[in-house]
Copies of this chain bind each other. A is one copy, B any other.
Amino acid sequence: MVHGRFDRSDSLPTVTVYNHLDVQPASKAKEPWKREPFEFVKEGNRYLGRGTTDDKGPAITALFGARYAFQNGVCANIHFLWELEEEIGSPHFETTIRDHAQDFATDSVVVSDTVWVSRARPAQPAGLRGLQGFFFDLETGETDQHSGTAGGAARNPLTEICQLISECVDGKTGRVKIPGFYTDVVPPTKKDLEDLKSSGFTVGGFKKDHKYKKLRVEDPLEVMKRIWMMPTFEVHGILGGYQEGRTVKTIIPPRATAIVSCRLVPDMNPKKIVKLVTDFVKSKNPDVRVSAEHALPAYEGKTTGPYADAIRSAMKFAFGKEPVFVREGGSIGAVLSMEKVLKKPIFFLGLSLPLHGYPAPNENYDWDQAAGGMAAFAKYFNEVGSLKAGRP
């Protein structure tokens, strides 16, 4: 972690900006990157490379906004908290801010690691989905066997894992079949649905940004509910067997692993979900070992009060339009830790756009978002400094 400080006076409020500097894996050989993912390139008004939008671009944007505000007499201390383990589930973040609570003490936090709905209108999350990762491991033998000599009698861990996955989730609709999975999901309120409707979201835009021709559903409200307010059950990869290419190597592998995760929403409890999933898997295939990883509960934020108003004012100043408060489908574990340890309000001032590919191949960031973002941050720091001693 990096902790940076623009300190002015102990009597003034402190606002802490959270970003992360680590990135997801990337490989030009295995993914359709047009350039080397780890070579930073500027092309026109775009910055290309792994991490440009998730989350180094927003981090640097906030830093320049802070420098400007500080050089121009902002009535606030501005701290930076840069994490370098966000993408692997923030394993040391919470203990570190707890162990150094005095250094990290602040009056509010602003997080810049989220995505707008479209360039046409700023959007800030009023909640994040949580995440619970799993490995489903099945071992049925010791070494590869030949499907000619053993096929028919030998168990095939790949077909068993496929069956298990299809028992957990409807592969086409995404509907999770595990009993009780949806029990604690809070349905959207009328206000939530109104916010969604005025978010500027279009199915066509979503498809274009994510390069999809067809979705599971095509109704815009239904799509928004699914990506922001509903839990998921996704398979990210199946390890085991022949994976070197398009060859029918007729082996029966000795083991297979499904890499799985569930996005969680309020009020789902990750521990309860781990137990539900583990018990269900065991009931369907007792030989499968379930390992749980990455527990992040969902986060529910605020859309009212002086900080929310400061976000509105800053975005309007910088981008000409007030932001709409939506939800974010992704998960930021550090947000939950900061809420728990720092016990101060946390707001979001995200700058990424869907078309930045957050964090897909050919990830990018652009000058328009950087320039507006610097102005928005400078304005936000001023607004927060002008709050009744910044401590409403």
Contact of A227 among B153, B162, B238, B285 (CB under 8 A): B153
Q: How far is the CA of A252 from the CA of B238 in the complex (A)?
A: 12
Q: Which of A15-47 contact B (CB under 8 A)?
A: 24-25, 27, 30-32
A239 interface residue, CB < 8 Å from B? yes
Interface centre among A141, A164, A240 (most CB of B within 10 A): A141
* Given known contacts A171-B162, A257-B246, A140 and B237 CB-to-CB distance under 8 angstroms: no
Q: How far is the CA of A239 from the CA of B328 in the complex (A)?
A: 30
Contact of A143 among B172, B222, B248, B357 (CB under 8 A): B357
Residues of B within 8 A of A170 (CB): 163
Residues of B within 8 A of A249 (CB): 24-25, 236-237, 259
Q: Is the CB of B250 within 8 A of A243?
A: no
A135 interface residue, CB < 8 Å from B? yes
Q: How far is the CB of A156 from chain B (nearest CB, A)?
A: 6
* Given known contacts A158-B238, A216-B153, A247 and B25 CB-to-CB distance under 8 angstroms: yes
Q: Is the CB of B154 within 8 A of A210?
A: yes
Q: Is the CB of B244 within 8 A of A25?
A: yes
Q: Is the CB of B156 within 8 A of A164?
A: no
Q: How far is the CA of A245 from the CA of B216 in the complex (A)?
A: 29
Q: Is the CB of A242 within 8 A of B237?
A: yes
Q: Is the CB of B329 within 8 A of A149?
A: yes
Q: How far is the CA of A330 from the CA of B252 in the complex (A)?
A: 13
Contact of A115 among B149, B227, B360, B362 (CB under 8 A): B149
Count contacts on A: residues with CB < 8 A to the other chain.
100
Q: How far is the CB of A79 from chain B (nearest CB, A)?
A: 26
Q: Is the CB of A143 within 8 A of B31?
A: yes
Q: Is the CB of A235 within 8 A of B362?
A: no
Contact of A236 among B115, B241, B285, B359 (CB under 8 A): B241
Q: How far is the CB of A151 from chain B (nearest CB, A)?
A: 4
Q: Which of A287-301 contact B (CB under 8 A)?
A: 293-294
Q: How far is the CA of A214 from the CA of B138 in the complex (A)?
A: 13
Q: How far is the CA of A362 from the CA of B143 in the complex (A)?
A: 9
Q: Is the CB of B214 within 8 A of A236?
A: no
A131 interface residue, CB < 8 Å from B? yes
A152 interface residue, CB < 8 Å from B? yes
Q: Is the CB of A159 within 8 A of B234?
A: yes
Other contacts beyond A143-B357, A238-B241, A248-B294: 13, CB < 8 A: A145-B212, A147-B234, A147-B261, A150-B210, A151-B329, A153-B226, A154-B210, A159-B165, A159-B172, A163-B166, A211-B254, A236-B253, A237-B249
- The contact sample of 6 A-B pairs, CB cut-off 8 A, is A145-B210, A149-B210, A149-B227, A151-B329, A154-B215, A239-B245
